[in-house]
Chain A
Amino acid sequence: MANAQSAMVGTRAARADLRPQWIAFGLMLAFFLVAPATGLYAVFLMKVMCFALFACAFNLLIGYGGLLSFGHAMFFGLASYASAHAAKVWGVTPELAILAGTAAATFLGVLVGLLAIRRQGIYFAMITLALAQMIYFFCVQAPFTGGEDGIQAVPRGRLFGLIDLSNVWAMYATVMVVFFGGFLLIFRVIHSPFGQVLKAIRENEQRAISLGYDTDRYKLLAFVLSAGLSGLAGATKALVFQLASLTDVHWTMSGEVVLMTLVGGLGTVFGPVVGAFVIVAMANYLAQLGAWVTVVQGAIFVICVLTFRRGIIGELGHWLRKPL
């Protein structure tokens, strides 16, 4: 496949050639369909998909909007609590629980976005981090989050009141639909008229302003979309693990999503998915190393930054001369 494609490299189409990305999408779909049969645990794969969606949502903001958020755990975590609370206390069906989580994160995204997008670079990162710490504190203190215990034994319930999600394959199919739906939405956003303006703002904000674009509004919309999709990931994760805990909203979660995106490839479409797979796999399969997992993660981060700064997919795309 690689040879057949590099033969076409010389030609430059007027519109970006999306065929390599659709091929990669097909491979990704096939992987998640076939992977459970290869002996990989369904729960592990569902965790990968949830974090992959989270990383893709994060990447939408930094890779295409040029905004580095260091507080994305607040959307992931708050949605996780909201979804768990809706499913357990209100007893709603799982699709409504996920919707509740997503809505909570989207709403929080509007509030945080309004404050944060007025600043750039390190200041933007610091504001998002500070606000995320406030949300963390709220989650520690609020009565409904269960404090240190979190919300445990969240019922997965019946999807649309019909399909019992305690069946692992029904849950797996649901997570696949959520992940691929979210992924396709992000893909569409990147290749939409709005995405085009976002790229222009990332490339040269002053020029975009001088052409009459209220760049803050575009950045806010990108921020809210990213927050909402992060929430979708967190809300789904709460049902998969039947647990919402402080881990989801802790600042290390914000750091982990940065790591996933960098390892996979910042500003690439598939990089965050690969990055999430690598990081989740390490956390799972190196678990017996205990605290050493973070040392290994740190080492990988350093190696990544020093030797392949474009990330795994970024380097692959560069080598194939195809944007992935």
Chain B
Amino acid sequence: MSETFILRTQDLTKEFKGFVAVRSVNLQVRGGEIHALIGPNGAGKTTCFNLLTHFLTPTAGRIFFKGRDITGASPAAIARMGLVRSFQISAVFPHLSVLENVRIALQRKRGASYDFWRSERVLEAHDPRARELIEAVGLAEYADAIAVELPYGRKRALEIATTLALEPEMMLLDEPTAGMTHEDVERISALIKRVAANRTVLMVEHNLSVVEHLSDRITVLARGEVIAEGDYVAVSRHPDVIQAYLGTAHA
């Protein structure tokens, strides 16, 4: 297999006590693209994400990132290789400030995280970069606010800033616009577009206009299986996709 695919899976399967959540999924994500994973509720999208980052262990199948088999790697090790995920519910450190949230990510890359005998002032060296990232996601005036006090849309923006701080080669975004107001959706999509300029993005998304607007390629999952793949036009005309979304008696 050539290296045009930064991430690929081979017959990825996850069973929960007889219920197959993900069945033989062969996902191929090209480097540099925005790849969307869509499908009705319960299709196995989030399970897929959890498998890719080893928050769940697959029942069968393998996962390759940049040509390396990462199926057995620990979640933290996968993150350090450059495959970083976000979560469906906003994942911030609620009682730390916005600046501290981003610094936690910067600190990991630049070491000294086990230093319990040094003053936290050494972390102020990361402040300029942290403020740049915070500004990039439009949170400049909130830098010193406590994360838990931010409105929902801003928390998602903070989460993206934190993820970006790791400079990941590939980002996995789980429903980045879920539960957002209209303006927030537009701001976040513009942000995703911008940050995808020099990296690969795989995202689970329900908002089809966002998917249409952003993604180069779309994989459709239904009941744990891939039912279609291609660009937006091809996928939206696919009969199985129409059936899966509009529903039939047994859907």
Q: Which residues of A contact B (CB under 8 A)?
A: 12-15, 185, 188-189, 191-197, 199-200, 203-204, 206-215, 217-218, 221, 225
Contacts and interface: CB of A to CB of B under 8 A. Distances in A.
Given A204-B92, A207-B87, A212-B108, A195 B116 contact: yes
A225 B117 CA distance: 11
Nearest to A194: B116
A209 B116 contact: no
B80 A212 contact: yes
A208 B144 contact: no
Given A14-B144, A221-B114, A197 B107 contact: yes
B159 to A, nearest CB: 8
B96 A210 contact: no
Contacts of A199: 93, 95-96
Given A200-B104, A204-B93, A208-B104, A213 B76 contact: yes
A206 B100 contact: no
A200 B96 contact: yes
Interface residues of B, number: 47
Nearest to A189: B116
A295 B120 CA distance: 43
B116 A210 contact: no
Nearest to A204: B93
A194 B107 CA distance: 10
Given A12-B144, A204-B92, A204-B93, A212 B166 contact: yes
Contacts of A221: 114, 116
Interface in B95-137: 95-97, 99-100, 103-105, 107-109, 112-124, 127
Contacts of B115: 192-194
Interface in B147-202: 162-163, 166
26 contacts: A14-B127, A14-B143, A185-B117, A188-B117, A189-B117, A191-B120, A192-B119, A196-B107, A197-B107, A197-B113, A200-B104, A203-B95, A204-B94, A207-B87, A207-B93, A209-B75, A210-B79, A210-B84, A211-B79, A211-B105, A211-B163, A212-B77, A212-B84, A218-B113, A221-B114, A221-B116
